[in-house]
Amino acid sequence: MARIFTVDDLRDRLQARQHKMTPQRQMILQVFIERPGEHLSAEEVQGILRDNFDSFGMATVYRNIELLTDLELLQKIDLGDGKARYELNTKEPTSHNHHHLICIACGKISEFNDDLLDGLERSIFEKCGFEVTDHQVKFFGYCQECREAGYGAENDDAD
């Protein structure tokens, strides 16, 4: 069970760095808390917030998303679509070992947990002397629903 961050965590971590708690920061975190499993871009976050509130500057979104990432409440992910995306971090350090499965038919993003990479990283160190501190892994392909709907490797020519 992945325990999730709350607004209290936000307040604590802001104080620890002499940053101020603002409604904007709270609302941005709230957007992610209310949407577990989603991978939102800055633009999407602003879209959600501007629907509910009058003016919500893009710069504020960018600045605070970055801040929340620094505070390790969010995690930045690059799905290769040209814009940065973010998801709520979990309190478990194992969240590091979840990889993204990106469906090239419908765009849906799912996740896969695994620690196979630990072995790979050890063997990288042994063979190359390269000490891995972080990794980024993305798998592209067809999700179950799209495969059942006729997409997939065997139908790949059905462009």
Which residues contribute to the site for a second copy (CB under 8 A)? Answer: 78, 80, 101, 103-104, 110, 112, 114, 116, 119-121, 123-124, 127-144, 147, 152-153, 156
Report the b/e string of 29-64 with b at 16+ CB within 10 A.
bbbbeeeeeebbbbebbbebbeeeeeebeeebbeeb
Name the residue nearer to DNA (CB basis): 3 or 17: 17
Query: According to CB under 7 A, which one of 5, 10, 32, 56 is a site residue for DNA?
Result: 56
Does position 58 interact with DNA (CB under 7 A)? The reply is: yes
The helix (run of H) or strand (run of E) holding residue 57 is none
Name the residue nearer to DNA (CB basis): 78 or 92: 78
Name the residue nearer to DNA (CB basis): 54 or 134: 54
Helix, strand, or coil (residue 8):
helix
Does position 18 interact with DNA (CB under 7 A)? The reply is: yes
Closest CA to 136 of 117, 153, 157: 117
CA–CA gap between residue 117 and residue 112 (Å, rounded): 12
CB of 21 to DNA, least distance (A): 3
Does position 62 interact with DNA (CB under 7 A)? The reply is: yes
- Contact call for residues 38 and 109 (beta carbons, < 8 A): no
Closest CA to 9 of 93, 95, 91, 94: 91
Query: According to CB under 7 A, which one of 4, 35, 38, 41 is a site residue for DNA?
Result: 41
Phi, psi at 34, each rounded to 5°: -80, -10
Does position 100 interact with DNA (CB under 7 A)? The reply is: no
Stretch that binds DNA, among 32-40, 53-61, 107-115, 127-135 (CB under 7 A): 53-61
- Enumerate binding residues for DNA (CB under 7 A): 14, 18-25, 41-43, 55-60, 62-64, 66, 82-84
